[in-house]
Structure 1
């Protein structure tokens, strides 16, 4: 009873009449925890006496009408399934049984599969379908029909008993042997003419005999994902006239598809992603019902014949190491696309810009000129989520995840391109992330016109730009301060000397107090700088007064770095200045010439600090942290700092603290990296950077 009440709420036992019914319902669950939890989840929002009475009657009829032990288990659970009411939601639940036992299903993948199955029809856009999918997932989770996968950020799984119940409900309509390590295709004796969905996924070494031609006239879904297939005979698809979803993904040894696929005229989704050796896809001319075509991470050498005839296509994903550019004219013909993901292949700006219904796009343009053409054709109407690469080589294949409208991306990467030639008219509306790499003529952020209009920019990453000496140059006549940037990453900039150049007039000021520079990066939360060999000082302390929101500072492999926070001589001796009040993480790694984190008289409050990592900084003599004080005035460990990572031991033993007893107080929280551990940690951080 307590388990039931924990899930349904204890209010139901306050009314004696209702309590009597609850007692009988719990009794009908037969002591099975899964049944108790599932039925409680179904009834937890119900307060009406009549509904509870009706639920008991339904449950009694179910259990008394069957005798087999397994069915006695299933029927109480089926009560929760029936109370979903909506057939489409019920079918969304049943679909999950096509996966192997205990399989963790990512929510985005599951929603995409529901879309392919037509279970989210009635909505016109993917941007609307995804919230609908999440709403269904929430209902299934709340009714305890699916469970959230532990240690998996956005996944669900189906309890084995609930999976068995779902397969019991579908009977001969589902043939599921997923995850059963099959080596041979199911025999004809196992086929049923009524089968609608077949899933053999995760069987790894499945062989389909050349003579096999299953007679499945009602088959709508065939999942042969990750089966280790090497070949499929011409006759295999001959008797599947109603097939709508064909998933052959993750068969890395499959090189060719049979021409008989060209006759699957009812096909809505053809999924061939991660067939890494696939070179040939037969003609698609007759597949006019096709709405999704996924050719991500294949080796096709040319676009499948007839792709331009797929006027109903809504989702195209394509990435091949052997296809350099999408042929002209294709995108114009498939103009109803909602999702376009093209990797390792350039697209024409003008054609992509004419896709008026795009909601999600990932693609590469050969140069700035093509990007300009795209911007001009869109007329300012950009997709909800976009990821563009301009110049360099086309985008690599690690971005092939399905569209996730819970995590909207608005990013542009400029690579080896003349970014200065991009005026503010090409800035996509709502641009959030800007990456600039291998642009040797690039000087600083506020020297490029597009920067002025990127008012929603939150993240900026700059790497391998030899001409860059500063990030922002305040000496320029037209200077726009990047007040909106929250994350700034600077990597492998060999000539970078300062983050903010304040100008000659400020530098030679001879008065006792130099004018305070204007606030720069006032929204900055995270700063990461690595491999910048000429920079000596990160920020002057005067600029830190305009950086109240900084939470993370990560500096590594900057050989000439001498000071993190530099203080002018005339500032010293004026009492203690506290900076970076919200700092949560400070990482200083392999800085051989670093002498000071902060100059004397400047301290960092440790109240918010979660992570302190100082490795390979032998010249640092002082750690300027201000620990919280207890009533007797002595320092105490910061409650938010679980440990400090330092190396080598000799450095830790010699380093000084401004607060008496601070080292003694923190010693129990110090993790000393040995030589091997230090090298491994440095290598790991280098790889992550």
Structure 2
């Protein structure tokens, strides 16, 4: 393990950064400096120890930490031993055996781990303790992950799967120590770690019968042995990310009678053997992104299964005897064209999280889902005809959902904290058929929806905070009866308009739907061919006063962002009503010549990005003289040709400019 070391003053500076101001307290500093020296200039050790001492003001805790480090110092004082020593100390300082077990489990992965996968493993293994619901177990797991991150034993990461997901990563040095600790503890944490080493077969590998966990993650394994060593104590078998693996021997799983976690994701398997049905203790079966998997064996004996994840497989029918999976809590069957029989959902009384968004369910399935009393999170696709004459009060039980109505082409990643409805061709709902469901939504996505006013204007949707419209064509002229008496979207914060025809301004959009934008903070507009300005003077100068971010792309008729109100109305736009825009991004707006008035609209701007807006030759005076601007990003030619009221203004902003 190659490790660079820091000088003593650099070590102390890094230690204080991680430990915080407490390290400089008069009665703490001498001990803190001794502890920093004990880290031997190793950045990883300094970060781990410093973070673990953050906020600790009792001198006894600092003395104990110093004594512990000195006592456990190995005879051979080389760099590797020093790192092991420090991380082992941090491990010993973890608050409970549960969190220590979670830490050791992370060492089974050679790289970043999706957080959801990790929590499912911990839950299935029983590490998270006994919890009544999936949500309680999940929350406990998140708490433990945050504790491990605070101790610098894990770090946050992003992982690209079908979408970008949150993950955690373990530093190579920390993983080495975790595996060493696991090997010294005994049977409870004995593991086989052969992950990420290019392995193509495991037929001649000697594996102890007492092994607890086996990881062959991210290899090139082509086949598994017909006769595998009996592993009566193994609870986790991780075989994911072995693309060459096409087939699993029929009796392979008979070797793992105590198995609780099985992950075969991202392998080339076409089916699961019948011996899968012998895994009576199995809690989590994960086969994500097995693009050749067309069939699952009968699962009648998997009574204890809690997690079944088959997302992005080629399954065309559900496995036989799923009615026996009465303990199933999480079912992820995001599979296209899946055949679902009547009564299927009624056999899953314990399900709390259900994802079947790639299938188009009918009215009968929707009725069955509405009867699931434990359901908390839901992601489904539903046929448009299923929404007529329906009661949606059951949705009060849901804490998060993604419901896709019709064959919508808008991709919306599932987020458990959101309550999303994604609708295709909403004009068929001209009599308020969706109103009941929309009452529970936070985000609304509309694709090719022509009956926009009938869908939104005659109800109040207090929960809606995001509205995304794609490919809409409406007549945004004066509507009969003028503006409504109430705002249908009083809490709207985010508006995204893409390919909206006939739209000349956002003000017209607001008047058409009677939306007042009283809480709008972010506005995105793209490819609206008729757009000439964002806001103009109408009956009332309705500029969203809480607007913080504006992004406009490919609007070829846009001339200016704000058209000043006429003198008769100008008094209405008092200073308290003028938005304080902080971020402005403009792209491919060839006719844009000015940002428009009032000047004070831009004086709080922090970030300005301009690209392919050749007509914009001069920035507003409030931007030229701004002390808040941090970044101005644009082409070098555009920047050099800008006109300034005073050349000193350009000099003052030169340090903020960044070439696009």
Question: What TM-score does the superposition give when structure 1 sets the normalisation length?
Answer: 0.79
Q: How does 1:279-318 map to 2 (within 5 A)?
A: 279-318=294-333
Deviates more, 1:271-280 or 1:121-130: 121-130
Alpha-carbon separation, structure 2, partners of 1:12 and 1:624: 49
1:642 corresponds, among 617, 621, 631, to 631
Instruction: Name 1:677's counterpart in structure 2.
Output: none
Correspondence for 2:262: 246
1:464 maps to what in 2? 471
2:430 equivalent among 420, 425, 441: 420
Query: Are the aligned partners of 1:437 and 1:463 in contact in 2 as well (CA < 8 Å)?
Result: yes
Gaps of 5+ in 1: 507-516, 629-634, 674-689
Within a 5 Å distance, the mapping from 1:546-625 to structure 2 comes to 546-567=543-564, 580-594=578-592, 597-598=595-596, 602-617=598-613, 620=615, 623=618, 625=620
- 5 Å-filtered alignment, 1:412-561, equals 412-417=421-426, 418-422=428-432, 426-427=436-437, 430-443=440-453, 446-449=456-459, 452=460, 454-467=461-474, 469=476, 475=482, 479-480=486-487, 482-501=489-508, 520-541=516-537, 543-544=540-541, 546-561=543-558
Greater shift in the superposed pair: 242-251 or 588-597 = 588-597
Match of 2:193 among 171, 176, 187: 176
Conservation of the 8 A alpha-carbon contact between 2:377 and 2:399: yes
2:23 corresponds, among 10, 14, 26, to 10
Q: Is the 8 A contact 1:210 1:233 kept in 2?
A: yes
Q: State the Cα deviation string for residues 416-467 of structure 1 (Å, max 9, x = none).
A: 2323333576135552211111123334664353xx1x11221111121234
Correspondence 1:327 to 2:322: no
**Corresponding residue for 1:509?**
none
1:191 aligned onto 2:207: yes
**Deviation of residue 485 (structure 1)?**
1.1
- 1:441–1:527: structure 2 CA closer, same or farther, 3 Å change rule? same
Deviates further, 25-34 or 537-546: 25-34
Aligned ranges 1:55-204 → 2 under 5 Å: 62-63=72-73, 74-75=84-85, 77-100=87-110, 103-148=111-156, 155-171=167-183, 173-185=190-202, 187-188=204-205, 190-203=206-219
CA shift at 1:224, angstroms?
A: 0.5
Q: Distance in 1 between matches of 2:605 and 2:400?
A: 34
Instruction: For residue 338 of structure 1, report the CA deviation from its aligned partner.
Output: 1.1
Contact 1:561 1:594 in 2 (8 A): yes
* C-alpha distance in 2 between matches for 1:249 and 1:530: 38
Q: Where does residue 4 of structure 2 map in the other structure? A: none
2-side partners of 1:69 and 1:595: how far apart? 62
Q: How far apart are 1:249 and its partner, in Å?
A: 0.8
Cross-structure match for 2:351: 337
Which of 387, 406, 419 is equivalent to 1:410?
Answer: 419
Deviation per residue, 1:272-312 (Å, 9 max, x gap): 01111211111111111100000100000111112222100
Once the two structures are superposed, what CA deviation does each residue of 1:166-217 show, in whole Å capped at 9, x if it has no partner?
21222271001111111111624x20011010011111x2122452423111
1:216 — aligned with what? 231
8 Å contact from structure 2 (residues 294, 313) kept in 1: yes
Q: Once structures 1 and 2 are overlaid, which stretch shifts more, 129-138 or 464-473? A: 464-473
Deviation by residue 1:4-41 (Cα, 9 ceiling, x = unmatched): 8635543787289x95x995x77876776655654555
Residue number in structure 2 paired with 1:510: none
Partner SS for 1:136:
helix
Contact 1:587–1:613 (Cα < 8 Å) also in 2: yes
Query: Do the aligned residues in 2 keep the contact of 1:615 with 1:648 (CA within 8 Å)?
Result: no
Tell me the distance in 2 between the aligned counterparts of 1:502 and 1:384: 31
Question: Is residue 472–residue 500 contact of structure 2 (8 Å, CA) maintained in 1?
Answer: yes
Whether contact under 8 Å (2:507, 2:542) holds in the other structure is no
Q: Output the CA distance in 2 between the equivalents of 1:502 and 1:563.
A: 17
Give runs of aligned pairs for residues 338-353 of structure 1, distance below 5 A: 338-347=352-361, 348-353=365-370
Taking structure 2 as the reference length, what is the TM-score of the superposition?
0.82
Q: Distance in 1 between matches of 2:549 and 2:629?
A: 14
Q: What SS does structure 2 have at the residue aligned with 1:539?
A: coil
How far 1:665 sits from its partner (Å)? 6.4
Distance in 2 (CA, whole Å) between partners of 1:307 and 1:318 is: 13
CA RMSD of aligned residues (A): 4.2
Residue 91 of structure 2 aligns to a residue whose secondary structure is: helix
Moved more, 462-471 or 62-71: 62-71
Does the 8 Å contact 1:145/1:162 carry over to 2? yes
* Distance 1:394-1:292 versus aligned 2 partners, 3 A rule: farther
Aligned-pair CA distance for 1:89 = 1.0
Distance 1:615 1:150, change over 3 A: closer
Check 1:661–1:132 CA distance in 2 against 1; reply closer, same or farther (3 A cut).
same
Secondary structure (helix, strand or coil) at the match of 1:266 reads: coil
- Mapped partners of 1:570, 1:193: distance in 2: 87
Contact kept in structure 2, 1:637 and 1:665, CA below 8 Å? no
Change in 2 beyond 3 A, CA 1:119/1:448: farther
Maintained 8 Å contact 2:408/2:423: no
Q: Measure the CA separation in 2 of the matches of 1:611 and 1:53.
A: 48
Query: What secondary structure does 2:482 align onto?
Result: coil
Deviations 1:258-284 (A, max 9, x none): 121121111100000111121111111
Deviations 1:341-394 (A, max 9, x none): 112102322112112212221111111534864615x1x523111111112259
Relative distance call for 1:70 and 1:583 in structure 2 (3 A) is: closer
